[in-house]
């Protein structure tokens, strides 16, 4: 999905940036020498990636039984020892078929048997009448409804009980009051009576179906022992030339609605256009389904960039063939009239577009928690594969289903946040549009890189750019976690945290929000950014009064978010001390908000090695707590 905030996709001409010399991926660093050697081997030519890793670790199997008699036989999903990482179930080999059907379009990252089975699958889109928007603000487009079939067992969801582990860092540790509250409101308790599961699930954690999935960590020794994917050959689709060029002067493919594309697809509409090329919705006549096709510009530097993106997408497919980690799956790839074409699943609106169409009313907190859980699972999966996305933002997070239900706006936190957007004097809406489903997919891997390969000096969209990128002191995995923190804030409040386009102002905002000075070791010794610091490494004041005014309206993240939520928060104190100043709110609800702000603050730590990792974040106590709001009132 392309939006007007999307930054240009160009290859940097600047020199490579140094990579942070620290392991911040949250994965084990203990591996055999032989495995490490294998990790550095890069294959070339066509890659057969039909071999897929075991999808579930023994210690990560779903907990289907919680009887006291078998509790001792259930393994904890936090186990990371070497013994557990070597005990995988074996796959049954596929029977060899005498003949496999082939077609002009082949999928380079599927085995021939997988390709044969996938060729018989079909998808149907159910078109329903668009709902008329009665709001005075009728800038909101009508939203199509699309519903996936639900599993029969979605009513009964089990989660395991986890222990809070204190972190060795300078960040605030969970105090005794927080632990007490966690134990009081923890919803992951063992369920002894399965007949009361549904009632208990609904009462304790209404949004549980939206956050029901677990992240199944890929063992590092398996990743290291697998050859990295090299260049991938694509099928070239033949065509008859009629003498008319299909490209404009900039190398973009000229989209003609209702025209036949690549002898197989009927172009339905253009979904967007960017520096890299265009994205169209098309109907696949062979498989009878609607898809999205990303058509890369017919210019060599963009073709080269597309090859890198193809390697990333193929790696994701290899290690997550079932798309359990919410990264957009690549269905097919081919070359047509000089353009690389990526065929992917057709999704709906981006979170940014939906937020914009809902008048920048923040999502219900239960929805934000669901988005955060899925997004962190995607980032953790990428880290396991040593991949950095580098461009996480609401525009690059798409919904599977953007249908909604209008509900009365009752959450005081949402109303309070709306009143603070640009010091809004607009009348607070009485209703809000609440999503019927919060399932998302992370897209746009055009800027993603393997951690051990070339790092451009400048990456990420400005509003979500980590301080180490601005400072030019080298970056690695933690930049994605910084972006996740910024995204969560925007989805919750409807407001961008770092509204800036200048490095000096951006750094001043970062210091104001973090409540700390930029560490001296991160301050560059020369260059443009170095001019923003004095001889002692302190950030100098802004000369422009207008830029300084934008900094002054900010505050430390706990206080800034607290103000927008109508709360008084100070993370220097524990849960009980904070609740004494917020007794107008139910204790359980306040506990939810307290832990949410605590997690966000850990994502926005300036020092990259001290920033929380995706795997640590998934085990944060916030994800064991629930809240009743517009997003859960229908459960």
Q: Whose CA is closest to 621, among 587, 585, 597, 604?
A: 597
Beta strands in 84-128 (DSSP E): none
DSSP string covering 273-298:
E-SSEEEEEEEETTTTEEEEEEEE-S
Long-range contacts of 539-547 (CB under 8 A, 24+ apart): 539/507, 539/508, 539/511, 542/504, 542/505, 542/508, 544/505, 547/500, 547/502, 547/504, 547/505, 547/508
Give the distance, in angstroms, between the CA of residue 459 and the centroid of all CA atoms in the same chain.
16
Strand partners, 344: 292, 330
> 381 and 214 in contact (C-beta within 8 Å)?
no
Distance CA 627, CA 207 (A): 8
> 6 and 395 in contact (C-beta within 8 Å)?
yes
443 CB-contact burial (10 Å; exposed 0-12 / middle 13-18 / buried 19+) = buried
- What does the CA dihedral 481, 483, 487, 488 come to, rounded to 10 degrees? 20
Please enumerate in sequence order all residues whose Cβ is within 8 A of that of 304, keeping only pairs 6 or more positions apart, or say none: 11
**Catalytic option among 353, 391, 598, 629:** 391
> 269 and 257 in contact (C-beta within 8 Å)?
yes
Q: Give phi and psi for 598, each to the nearest 5.
A: -60, -45
Indicate the length of the chain as a whole number: 635
Distance CA 206, CA 216 (A): 24
Q: Is 135 a catalytic residue?
A: no
Distance CA 270, CA 279 (A): 6
- What does the CA dihedral 273, 277, 281, 287 come to, rounded to 10 degrees? -170
Q: Is 294 annotated as a binding residue?
A: yes
> 381 and 470 in contact (C-beta within 8 Å)?
no
Both tokens of 389, joined, read 């996305």
Q: Look-up: residue for tokens 């999905």?
A: 1
Distance CA 148, CA 125 (A): 9
The CB-side HSE value for 329 (13 A sphere, CA atoms) comes to: 17
Catalytic residue numbers read 391
What residue numbers does the annotated binding site cover? Answer: 294
What residue numbers does the annotated binding site for ATP cover? Answer: 294
């Amino acid at each position: 999905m392309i939006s007007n905030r999307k930054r240009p996709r160009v290859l940097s001409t600047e020199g490579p940036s140094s990579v942070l010399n620290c392991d911040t991926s949250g994965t084990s660093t203990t591996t055999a020498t032989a495995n490490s050697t294998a990790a550095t081997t890069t294959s070339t030519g066509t890659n057969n990636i039909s071999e897929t890793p075991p999808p579930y670790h023994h210690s990560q199997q779903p907990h289907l039984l919680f009887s006291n008699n078998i509790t001792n036989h259930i393994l904890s999903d936090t186990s990371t020892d070497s013994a557990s990482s070597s005990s995988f179930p074996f796959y049954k080999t596929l029977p060899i078929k005498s003949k496999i059907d082939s077609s002009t379009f082949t999928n380079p990252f599927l085995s021939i048997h997988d390709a044969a089975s996938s060729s018989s699958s079909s998808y149907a889109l159910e078109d329903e009448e668009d709902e008329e928007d009665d709001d005075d603000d009728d800038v909101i487009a009508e939203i199509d409804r699309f519903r996936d079939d639900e599993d029969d067992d979605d009513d009964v969801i089990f989660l395991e009980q986890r222990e809070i582990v204190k972190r060795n860092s300078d960040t605030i540790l969970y105090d005794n009051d927080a632990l007490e509250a966690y134990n009081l409101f923890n919803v992951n308790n063992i369920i002894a009576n399965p007949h009361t599961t549904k009632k208990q699930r609904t009462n304790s954690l209404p949004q549980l179906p939206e956050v029901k999935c677990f992240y199944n960590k890929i063992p590092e020794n398996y990743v290291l022992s697998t050859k990295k994917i090299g260049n991938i050959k694509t099928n070239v689709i033949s065509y008859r030339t009629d003498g008319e060029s299909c490209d404009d002067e900039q190398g973009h493919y000229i989209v003609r609605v209702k025209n036949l594309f690549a002898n197989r697809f009927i172009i339905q509409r253009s979904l967007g256009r960017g520096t890299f090329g265009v994205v169209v919705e098309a109907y696949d006549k062979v498989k009878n389904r609607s898809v999205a096709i990303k058509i890369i510009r017919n210019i060599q530097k963009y073709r080269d960039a597309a090859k890198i993106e193809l390697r990333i997408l193929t790696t994701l497919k290899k290690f997550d063939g079932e798309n359990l980690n919410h990264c957009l799956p690549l269905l097919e790839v081919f070359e047509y009239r000089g353009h690389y074409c990526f065929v992917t699943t057709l999704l709906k609106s981006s979170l940014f577009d939906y937020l914009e169409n809902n008048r920048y009313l923040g999502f219900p907190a239960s929805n934000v928690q669901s988005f955060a859980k899925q997004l962190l699972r995607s980032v953790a999966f990428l880290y396991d594969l040593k991949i950095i996305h580098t461009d996480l933002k609401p525009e690059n997070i798409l919904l599977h289903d953007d249908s909604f239900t209008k509900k009365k706006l009752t959450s005081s936190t949402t109303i309070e946040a709306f009143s603070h957007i640009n010091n809004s004097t607009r009348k607070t809406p009485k209703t809000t549009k609440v999503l019927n489903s919060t399932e998302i997919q992370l897209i746009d891997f055009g800027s993603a890189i393997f951690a051990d390969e070339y790092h451009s000096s400048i990456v990420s969209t400005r509003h979500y750019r980590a301080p180490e990128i601005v400072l030019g002191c080298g970056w690695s995995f933690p930049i994605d976690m910084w972006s996740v923190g910024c995204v969560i804030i925007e989805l919750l409040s409807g407001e961008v945290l770092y509204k800036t386009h200048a490095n000096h102002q951006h750094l001043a905002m970062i210091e104001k929000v973090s409540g700390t000075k930029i560490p001296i070791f991160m301050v560059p010794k020369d260059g443009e950014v170095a001019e923003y610091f004095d001889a002692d490494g302190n950030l100098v004041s802004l000369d422009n009064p207008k830029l300084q005014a934008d900094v002054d309206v900010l505050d430390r993240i706990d206080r800034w978010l607290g103000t927008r939520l109508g709360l008084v928060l100070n993370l220097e104190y524990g849960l009980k001390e904070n609740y004494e100043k917020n007794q107008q709110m139910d204790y359980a609800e306040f506990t939810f908000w307290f832990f949410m702000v605590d997690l966000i603050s850990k994502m926005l730590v300036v020092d990259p090695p001290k920033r929380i990792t995706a795997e640590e974040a998934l085990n944060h106590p916030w994800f064991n707590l629930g809240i009743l709001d517009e997003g859960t009132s229908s459960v």
